[in-house]
Chains A and B, each alone.
Chain A
Amino acid sequence: MKESRTLPTDYVSSPERTSSGRTLRTDEMILNMGPQHPSTHGVLRLELVVDGEIIVDVIPHIGYLHRCFEKHAEHMTNYQQVIPYADRMDYLSSMCNDWAYALAVEKLLKTEIPERVQYIRLIMAELQRIASHLIAVGTYAIDMGAFTPFLWCFRDRERILDLFEMTCGARLLYNYIWVGGVSHDLPPSFVEKAKEFCRDFRTTLKEVHDVLTYNEIFIKRTANVGVLPKDVAINWACSGPMLRGSGVDWDLRRDDPYGIYDRFEWTVQVGKGEMGTVGDCWDRYIVRMREMEESTRIIEQAVESVPEGNVQSSIPKRIRPEAGEVYVRSESPRGELGFYVISDGTASPYRVKARAPAFVNLSVLPEISRGAMVADLVAIVGSVDIVLGEVDR
């Protein structure tokens, strides 16, 4: 940690001279942002070295929410039992976590997944992506001082949670996508309600665009702030909207396909630097907004054609995959969520390692926030869209 506290090369301290010509000693202040701070989105602690309002350095301290997910996973008596823990990693996109873990174990087992399950999983994951991005956008609005779009976002997220609740009874931690299938079938009115949601949701998106996206103050606060250039983004292994915001056209749903994404018509959204530089906060924000639009398109196409069938494939209650190892990655709302699972042939995994996108994306924070102002740091942290549950696991 100590090495990172060197000053950036372009930083010039500003000694102020008094009338007698002596230099007034100015000092940097160390400011603790978090773990209880409204804009660190959880229990992140940022140690800021500030010169007035200018940030000289940022040192993120993580680990306040560490719950030993990986160790827990090794001590389960069944592969299925890991899923509730995976739920709790990124608690804003539990469905996507479950799916990624289930994909990994299914790859170990080499099972075939029923067609209906494929559709249900995809619909759920995309609904979850919208719900997660709504929180990202809504809390970002709050970070910028705009309170109203936040509640509009939450109002619509609530409707997604209602859809989840009628399907599996839970609103946050679903334990829905299991290895080999899903826990419950879709309720009869689900398709109708999902369509209704997609229709109404476009209005919300338009409202948020009107009041926030193209608001002059919002643009001033986010454009050209926290610019993450393409090469830096790739070097730091950023993924998800963070990477796409920097103009890298990379989406695992298309580039390393899983599920049935290839059957639907949608496009990968990348930041184009419309309001400033490619890779600034506004680009990351707009990528999320446009991804919600794309997810709505995917859902609309998918609910039209959900086939009939079983929602559980016939796998034994106690799974014992052959010894071996597998790494499966998927596109969670925050980026590349990978599960590396090693099996030793017993009923519980020998090792589960999660590659958490929020953790990797957060690590680039000091790189892009040196020289910014304290208010900009809030904008940058918000645009990274971290979930501390996933950073710390």
Chain B
Amino acid sequence: MEELLRSLIGESWILYLLLAAPPLVFILLYALVTVWTEMKVSAHMQDRLAYMYTGFHGVLQPVADILKLLQKEDTIPTAADRPLFVMAPFLVFIGMYAGFAALPFSSAYIGSNINLGVFYIIAVSSIGVVGLLMAGWASNNKWSLFGAMRSAAQIISYEIPIALALLVAVMITGSLNLQDVIRYQEGGILNWIVFGGPQPLVQKLLLLPFTVTAFFILFIAGVAEVNRTPFDLPEAESELVQGYNTEYSGMKFAIFYLAEYANMFLVSGIAACLFLGGWSSPFGELMSGPLWGVFWIVLKGYFFVFLQIWIRWTLPRLRVDQLMYTSWKVLIPFLFVCLFCVGLILVL
């Protein structure tokens, strides 16, 4: 797709704009769908109906919500640090959007096909923390500051298990380029890295327990990374009111929300790319191709988004020290064992 566009319009800024647009369009559409899904899933879990009046079963409600948020007065507290306060939500959004740049949507489309894709995503996703810290600090509200401090500690702690879990997949495939990682897994569900990758049977069976563990840990750490229950301490509404976004309203608040929802898909998408074959079809040649690729990665990513919604409305929240304990004393040691054993199996 990149070559096609390049041959059509040549090397210009329009080319880059066009190449950057699909993830944004996707994020916006996806956020509308997910807001609705989350409300409906939670409602049905709780014996409620949720939106029923705006359109069929309230499908238009997210649109109405956005229109409402657009019309809202954009309040900035007098005591706030204005430039930082205004900048924070956009920084969070940038961190998330930059991550989407390296997420392959199909064999034909990836925002930027860089060889260090995995590394790049881990790196840029941390930009969001700066945004959260900024929001908490600039709000000049003690609760927001608490939330920001918690989120910084949390995201830094959970970057490590994420990076280590991704390394397991990278060790098997031997590439940091996400397109290469996916091509490595092509040829059906059994070639997915979560099931040991396309190795000889014995090696595959030996790898299986470690890849499954790494995948689960990646998912858990991913949930923590995007601050969703049971790891939603930075915005724990019953403790910290709303954490870092207490003072935000209107469109700035909406952007925080958008970033959170998009992040949910980003971590799910990365997990799907590295462990579940990304855009490759689970049936080998059947239903594969560039367009089917989009379908498969959205389906796989969305499945884990749904899982995150499910978890959110089921589990209570952890405490700060328990959160740190989970990361440093449970997930990371497990991953070290995984890394060591995977390395050993691959060498032998």
Contacts and interface: CB of A to CB of B under 8 A. Distances in A.
B46 A373 contact: no
Interface string B218-232: 000000000001101
Contacts of A218: 316
Interface of A: 29, 31-32, 37-39, 53, 141-148, 151-152, 155, 211-212, 215, 217-218, 220-221, 373-376, 378
B316 A146 contact: yes
A39 B46 contact: no
A215 B317 CA distance: 11
B48 A151 contact: yes
A375 B239 contact: yes
Nearest to B145: A29
Nearest to A53: B320
A215 B241 CA distance: 24
Contacts of B313: 147-148
Contacts of B230: 145, 217
Contacts of B241: 37-38
B322 to A, nearest CB: 6
Contacts of A376: 319
Contacts of B233: 375
B318 A220 contact: yes
Chain B contact residues: helix, strand, loop or mixed: loop
Interface in B197-246: 229-230, 232-233, 236-241
B239 A217 contact: no
B239 A378 contact: yes
A138 to B, nearest CB: 11
A155 B237 contact: no
Nearest to A147: B313
Contacts of B46: 147-148, 151-152
B142 A221 contact: no
A373 B146 CA distance: 12
A217 B318 contact: yes
Contacts of B45: 148
Contacts of A220: 318-319, 322
B136 to A, nearest CB: 14
Contacts of B232: 145
Interface residues of B, number: 28
B314 interface: yes
A52 to B, nearest CB: 9
Contacts of A29: 142
15 contacts: A38-B238, A38-B241, A39-B239, A144-B316, A145-B229, A147-B42, A148-B313, A148-B314, A217-B317, A220-B319, A373-B319, A374-B240, A375-B236, A378-B238, A378-B239
Interface string B312-328: 01111111111000000
Given A145-B229, A148-B45, A212 B316 contact: yes
Nearest to A218: B316
Interface in B296-344: 313-322
Contacts of A145: 229-230, 232, 236, 238, 315-317
B322 A143 contact: no
Contacts of B42: 147-148
Contacts of A151: 46-48
Q: Which 7 A/B pairs are nearest by Cβ-Cβ distance? A: A145-B317, A151-B46, A144-B316, A146-B316, A39-B238, A375-B319, A143-B238
Contacts of B322: 217, 220-221
Contacts of A141: 316
B314 A146 contact: yes
Given A148-B313, A221-B319, 4 more contacts: A145-B229, A217-B317, A373-B321, A378-B238
Nearest to A139: B238
Contacts of B314: 146, 148, 211
B318 A221 contact: yes
Given A151-B47, A378-B239, A217 B315 contact: yes
A142 B316 CA distance: 8
A154 to B, nearest CB: 9
Most chain A CB neighbours (cut-off 10 Å) among B46, B319, B322: B319
Nearest to A225: B319
A378 B230 CA distance: 16
